[in-house]
Protein backbone atom coordinates (compact mmCIF):
# COMPACT_ATOMS: atom_id res chain seq x y z
CA UNK A 1 0.00 0.00 0.00
CA UNK A 2 1.16 3.49 -0.84
CA UNK A 3 -0.13 5.92 1.77
CA UNK A 4 -0.78 8.83 -0.56
CA UNK A 5 -3.73 10.49 -2.22
CA UNK A 6 -1.65 11.70 -5.15
CA UNK A 7 -1.66 10.02 -8.55
CA UNK A 8 1.63 11.87 -9.18
CA UNK A 9 3.24 9.87 -6.35
CA UNK A 10 2.09 6.65 -8.02
CA UNK A 11 3.49 7.85 -11.34
CA UNK A 12 6.79 8.57 -9.60
CA UNK A 13 6.94 4.98 -8.34
CA UNK A 14 6.09 3.66 -11.79
CA UNK A 15 9.04 5.62 -13.18
CA UNK A 16 11.39 4.34 -10.49
CA UNK A 17 10.31 0.78 -11.25
CA UNK A 18 10.92 1.32 -14.95
CA UNK A 19 14.41 2.69 -14.24
CA UNK A 20 15.14 -0.36 -12.06
CA UNK A 21 13.75 -2.72 -14.73
CA UNK A 22 10.95 -3.90 -12.42
CA UNK A 23 7.36 -4.62 -13.37
CA UNK A 24 4.73 -2.24 -12.02
CA UNK A 25 0.94 -2.19 -11.97
CA UNK A 26 -1.57 0.00 -10.13
CA UNK A 27 -4.21 -2.36 -8.73
CA UNK A 28 -6.19 0.39 -6.99
CA UNK A 29 -8.99 0.34 -9.53
CA UNK A 30 -9.31 -3.42 -9.96
CA UNK A 31 -12.69 -5.00 -9.59
CA UNK A 32 -13.87 -8.49 -10.41
CA UNK A 33 -15.99 -9.51 -13.35
CA UNK A 34 -19.05 -11.38 -12.22
CA UNK A 35 -20.11 -12.27 -15.75
CA UNK A 36 -17.57 -14.99 -16.54
CA UNK A 37 -19.47 -15.98 -19.65
CA UNK A 38 -18.53 -12.62 -21.22
CA UNK A 39 -14.81 -12.78 -20.49
CA UNK A 40 -13.89 -16.27 -19.24
CA UNK A 41 -10.14 -15.60 -19.25
CA UNK A 42 -10.27 -12.09 -17.76
CA UNK A 43 -10.82 -12.03 -14.02
CA UNK A 44 -10.51 -8.32 -13.37
CA UNK A 45 -10.75 -4.98 -15.08
CA UNK A 46 -9.74 -1.45 -14.22
CA UNK A 47 -12.00 1.55 -14.08
CA UNK A 48 -11.28 4.72 -12.09
CA UNK A 49 -14.98 5.52 -11.90
CA UNK A 50 -15.69 2.45 -9.73
CA UNK A 51 -13.89 3.68 -6.60
CA UNK A 52 -13.98 7.45 -6.98
CA UNK A 53 -10.62 8.62 -8.23
CA UNK A 54 -10.52 11.78 -6.07
CA UNK A 55 -11.54 10.15 -2.77
CA UNK A 56 -8.51 7.90 -2.38
CA UNK A 57 -6.04 7.93 0.54
CA UNK A 58 -4.24 4.69 -0.33
CA UNK A 59 -3.10 3.14 -3.59
CA UNK A 60 -2.60 -0.60 -3.99
CA UNK A 61 0.21 -1.43 -6.38
CA UNK A 62 2.07 -4.52 -7.55
CA UNK A 63 5.79 -4.62 -8.25
CA UNK A 64 7.41 -7.58 -10.00
CA UNK A 65 11.05 -8.34 -9.23
CA UNK A 66 13.40 -11.28 -9.00
CA UNK A 67 14.36 -10.47 -5.40
CA UNK A 68 12.54 -8.86 -2.48
CA UNK A 69 15.48 -6.51 -1.91
CA UNK A 70 14.82 -4.88 -5.28
CA UNK A 71 11.24 -4.06 -4.29
CA UNK A 72 12.22 -2.70 -0.90
CA UNK A 73 15.01 -0.57 -2.42
CA UNK A 74 12.71 1.07 -4.97
CA UNK A 75 10.03 1.69 -2.31
CA UNK A 76 12.56 3.29 0.06
CA UNK A 77 13.73 5.55 -2.76
CA UNK A 78 10.09 6.44 -3.44
CA UNK A 79 9.61 7.31 0.26
CA UNK A 80 12.56 9.69 0.15
CA UNK A 81 11.36 11.41 -3.02
CA UNK A 82 7.68 11.74 -2.10
CA UNK A 83 7.95 11.97 1.70
CA UNK A 84 5.13 9.40 1.81
CA UNK A 85 5.20 5.97 3.50
CA UNK A 86 4.34 2.52 2.24
CA UNK A 87 3.17 -0.41 4.36
CA UNK A 88 1.77 -3.94 4.37
CA UNK A 89 3.98 -5.62 1.80
CA UNK A 90 2.58 -8.95 0.63
CA UNK A 91 4.89 -11.35 -1.18
CA UNK A 92 3.66 -13.69 -3.88
CA UNK A 93 6.03 -16.34 -5.15
Task: State the pLDDT at residue 90.
Answer: 85
What mean pLDDT value characterizes the chain? 81
Distance of CA 22 to the CA centre of its chain: 12
* Strand (E) or helix (H) holding 63: strand 61-64
pLDDT, tens only, 2-19: 999 999 999 999 999 999
- Read off the pTM: 0.74
Amino acid sequence: KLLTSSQDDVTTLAGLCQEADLGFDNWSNATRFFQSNLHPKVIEYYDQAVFGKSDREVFFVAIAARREEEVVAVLKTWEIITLRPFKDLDWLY
